[in-house]
A = this chain, B = another copy of it.
Amino acid sequence: MSDRQSHPLELLCRKLATHHPLSRQDEAAVLALPYKLRTMEAQSYLVREGDRPEICAVLIAGYAFRHKLTGDGARQIVSLHIPGEALDFQNLFLAEADHNVQMLTRGQVAEVHMADMEKLALGPAGLGQAILIANLVEASIFREWTLNIGRRDSRSRIAHLLCEFAARLTAQELQEEAHFELPMTQEQLADATGLTPVHVNRVLKGLQAEGLIARNRRSISFPDWRRLREVADFNSRYLHLASGTRERLAH
């Protein structure tokens, strides 16, 4: 929806400000970060488990995801990321990456030196707090995923994933909630929900038959957002959104 970005890192400011207002100085400090824009292909890796990351990538365009593998190669996607989110806060001050980060679609990334980002995180004023909060909110999302995968059946599970993605895009004003592009294959959807691709396909068709989602290629829309939320058992509390956004989502 919004306007051209004069500066890529404005997206990061907007994201950080979602949970904690930034002062002019904070914002200036973010925008003053030296960075390098890089275009990434779909499927390209940003971080691999075991890496010792030197740079902290901020997602500017496109989507990304984190995943881990079991010893026998099964994959679990543990989070999805939308523009404005920093993909390496997880690795701040930690020597070894404990998971992989990969582009979901083609996109762009602003690379910042880890040391510079660490300075911000420890730094003065509200930024350290904003970064800490961003990490706390991410941890909250992890908890909800654990609940989702551990205790909801496949139908709610997939519906919940869709709701969360739509809600987060809406919160960042990147898309309207009623309609958005879901750039995931059914296999990726399966890896994010702990299901098999075949079953995801069946559930998706079921949701469509019920009129809860409409699909056209990779783009999905929600003819009945309210009912989908019910089926998904979706409550946005865990996203810790500002009250304005919460109301927007509640219709």
Measuring CB to CB, which residues of chain A are less than 8 angstroms from any residue of chain B? 19-20, 49-50, 66, 68, 70-72, 74-76, 78-79, 89-90, 92-96, 98-99, 121-122, 128-129, 131-133, 135-140, 142-147, 149-152, 156, 193-194, 233, 235, 237-238, 240
* Cβ–Cβ < 8 Å partners of A194 in chain B: 149-151
On whether A68 and B233 interact (CB within 8 A), knowing A121-B132, A136-B93, A139-B142, the answer reads no
CB distance from A193 to the nearest CB of B (A): 7
Please tell me if the beta carbons of B75 and A151 are within 8 angstroms of each other in the complex: yes
* Cβ–Cβ < 8 Å partners of A66 in chain B: 143
Please tell me if the beta carbons of A122 and B129 are within 8 angstroms of each other in the complex: yes
Please tell me if the beta carbons of B129 and A93 are within 8 angstroms of each other in the complex: yes
**Distance between Cα atoms of A70 and B92 in the complex (Å):** 33
On whether A150 and B76 interact (CB within 8 A), knowing A66-B143, A128-B122, A132-B132, the answer reads yes
Please tell me if the beta carbons of B68 and A144 are within 8 angstroms of each other in the complex: yes
**Distance between Cα atoms of A68 and B235 in the complex (Å):** 12
Please tell me if the beta carbons of A93 and B146 are within 8 angstroms of each other in the complex: no
Nearest CB in chain B to that of A123: its residue: B128
Please tell me if the beta carbons of B76 and A240 are within 8 angstroms of each other in the complex: no
Nearest CB in chain B to that of A66: its residue: B143
* Cβ–Cβ < 8 Å partners of A233 in chain B: 70-72
Please tell me if the beta carbons of A146 and B147 are within 8 angstroms of each other in the complex: no
CB distance from A64 to the nearest CB of B (A): 15
Nearest CB in chain B to that of A237: its residue: B98
